[in-house]
A and B are shown apart, each in its own frame.
Chain A
Amino acid sequence: MKIEILGTGCPKCIAAEEVVKKVVKNLGMEVEVGHVYDLEKIIEYGVMMTPAIAINGKIKIEGKVPSEEEIEKLVKMHL
């Protein structure tokens, strides 16, 4: 599985990345975490507001810093 955080590097995007990393670490699973900074690419994903979270290339959360439970739920759904 691959989780991507989409965001240009603003404080909210960094917060989102931290949430994702924490959940992945707590779950102790093999998950690839990436961060897309390039705006062109972010738009290609169809995202209008950042931060956004994509799992396996599909946008799941957009325009807010997700909670840990949200990420956990999403990760478990995609196992």
Chain B
Amino acid sequence: MIQDIILKAINGGIYALLDYLGAHVLTCLVPAFFIAGAMATILPKEKILKYLGKNSPKYIAYPLSVVAGLLLAVCSCTILPLFAGIKKKGAGIGPAIAFLYTAPATNLLAIIYTGAIIGWDLAISRILLSISFAVIIGIIISSFFKEEEEESKELVSKLIEEQRRMDGIDGLPLHKRIIKRLEYNRILIFFGILFLILIVGAWKVFEGIRVYGLVVLVASLLIVVKYWFKKEEIKNWLVETYKFFKTIFPLLLVGVFIAGVLTALLPEKILANYVGSNTVFANLAGVLFGVFMYFPTLVEVPMARMFLNLGMARGPLLAYLLADPVTSLPSLLVVRKIMGTKRTLVYSILIIIFCTISGLIYGFIIS
């Protein structure tokens, strides 16, 4: 009798896990891993970063910081030299802080992962709130501490103009020009196809034509990769994809598994007692844990999935997801060296306040 029950439970568990993976995660996660790898290797980061490092006016620097943040998937420590560079030689402390915030917090991958693993409502809230916080905190700190602003400004358009002239494709005959243009845009086409695969694979709208669509897309991806990319680039892309897969996927499974075991062993959900409802304490706890702990890029998402399974309410969960990637204790210590104790304190306190309040409001709206 007891054996039957255990067997039934295990079967049910495995079935649920497979169902979960097949229906919601695999179609979304597999393309997401490939996009992650591509973003880490094939994207010409230097170009984006170069624009950011130069002196540019505020109305360009803030959007640039946000765009750069969307494209880069890095942890809070990696971008510290660039942060120092923007602050010192570039657009000043406001955009530098916006970049410091967005680079780890808002990237397309984190959003895709959050959507695939936890839910699209949280994913969308996460990106919109992070972008707003980055700009608002940047503006607050730069207006609080005006004395360090720099005067010399240089227009970004000048740089873009230079870049265009250097390409020198205007003198070629028409068909060659078209081919050159396409090659020049190979990265755009490549990422376009990758994102299309993700969308067609995951969205319900494409149910009827999914298989054909995916076959066509994957075939065109292979052609693009074969003709326009060097062997070295392809290899780096695949290696990086595998690295992302290796870090994230086991954590996701282990997280779900541990959460399952814990909930089975303890009659009441342990975490639920503390962070199961949408209270100030629950949100603050989520945020504080996130602000100081260090996790590698994107690992916050499987962590959040585990918290969700353990009974964390969605408000505190959003608060945690907002706060976690932005900073960690090691990165804060270095930031302190760059912009001083006072500013770092204000920066951390603003993050804590904003994230806690958002979690509260979000939890209030959905309940």
Contacts and interface: CB of A to CB of B under 8 A. Distances in A.
A12 B85 contact: no
B294 A10 contact: yes
Given A10-B294, A10-B331, A12-B296, A67 B239 contact: yes
Contacts of B338: 39
Contacts of A20: none
Interface in A46-79: 47-51, 63-64, 67
B49 A48 contact: yes
B4 to A, nearest CB: 47
A43 B77 contact: no
A15 to B, nearest CB: 9
A11 B294 contact: yes
Contacts of A49: 45, 49, 74, 78-79, 81-82
Contact size class for A? Answer: 10 to 19
Given A11-B294, A50-B77, A63-B78, A43 B331 contact: no
Main secondary structure of the interface of A (DSSP, over half): loop
A11 B74 CA distance: 13
A77 to B, nearest CB: 14
B81 A13 contact: no
Contacts of B88: 43
Given A10-B294, A11-B294, A48-B49, A63 B74 contact: yes
Interface in B42-58: 45-46, 49, 53
Contact size class for B? Answer: 20 to 34
B80 A13 contact: no
A8 to B, nearest CB: 5
Interface string A5-27: 00111111100000000000000
B68 to A, nearest CB: 11
A63 B45 contact: yes
A3 interface: no
B74 A8 contact: no
A64 B75 CA distance: 11
Interface string B77-104: 1111110110010000000000000000
Given A8-B334, A39-B334, A43-B85, A13 B77 contact: yes
B337 interface: yes
Given A48-B53, A63-B74, A42 B296 contact: no
Contacts of B334: 8-10, 39
Interface of A: 7-13, 39-40, 42-43, 47-51, 63-64, 67
10 contacts: A8-B80, A9-B330, A9-B334, A10-B77, A10-B294, A12-B75, A39-B84, A43-B88, A50-B80, A51-B78
